[in-house]
Amino acid sequence: MEEQAIQKEEQAAKKVMLSGIQPSGALHLGNYLGPLQHWPQMIEDFDCYFFLADLHTITVRQDPAALRKQTMTLLASYIACGLDPEKCTLFIQSHVHQHAELGWVLNCYAMFGELSRMTQFKDKSAKNADNINGGLFTYPCLMAADILLYQPDFVPVGEDQRQHVELCRNIVQRFNGIYGDVFKMPEPYIQKVGARIMSLNAPESKMSKSQPEGCVFLLDRPEDIARKFKRAVTDSDTENCVRYDQAKKPGVANLIQIYAAATGRTFEDVEREFAGCGYGKFKPAVGEAVIETLRPIREETERLLKDKAYLEGVYRAGAEKASYVAEKTLRKVYKKVGFLQR
């Protein structure tokens, strides 16, 4: 009992961190070398909440059976990547009803002009012209609810999501300005190393599951990973030199960044290691480094997926803990806006 009390005191002293990923597709190398590889350390340094953002996925039509399967796979992959459920709160978004409830309230405190300026809305509308639905327009409000329910200090996001965190901060300022100190102001937490891994066959674009040939998935077989790196775009530079130059050699720069992140080396270390070597040696070396980085993750994910009872226990316990914290925030919000208490 004394040890549990000490653990609670230590957790209470930690800053709160929250993050989530949509289970609409398999995790890829960009996810891992961006945020995911840093998360195990985060759970030591912060009181962390990690969730599978399944509510967000349905702004685009999903196959129900595939979504359920992918959610379980993502949960297993989270754990395989080092997210110990005993050290963090790991849950599925739709299992905590307070997300949707607070999302509606925050819809009423976000301005139409703010939402219409969201870059991701414009991009996704262009890609899904036959399904530009209301959820696609207002999902930054749900994202704000995801964040604010847990009163986090930090939200680790990629540069492409920074705009949504800024909108969340605008909502906090507006809501607190009306009702007092209700929400903590969250800060974006941007990873500097490996934060933006680009497509292997289109290095001007971020690595994405929508471009599978340029995307390395965490559960890819080793031979598929090796093939993708051998075909990776480098450049038309006749010097055939492994040198980091984002402007002139984006393909090579991307491969250097991947190799550096996978091996723990600096860009300068990578350049020295492959000095005098052509791309024919460099690309397979990057592929092999990625294969060895992902091998234990793939094997552990496959093992966990065979233990359905364990995974169900993880997400039920996570939802119970998350709901307890989220309900305290939601009750405070409901009281402030004038709703009668249940």
Q: Which residues are catalytic?
A: 124, 206, 209
C-alpha pair distances (Å), 25 with each of 132, 136, 208:
20, 18, 10
Strand-pairing partners, residue 51, are: 20, 91
Beta carbons within 10 angstroms of residue 243's beta carbon: 17
DSSP state letter for 24: S
**Contact yes or no for 93/146 (Cβ under 8 A):** yes
Helices (H), the chain: 2-13, 29-33, 39-45, 54-57, 64-80, 98-107, 112-116, 119-127, 134-148, 162-179, 222-230, 250-263, 267-273, 279-305, 308-337
Which tokens sit at 204? 């001007």
Residue 322 CA, distance from chain mean position: 18
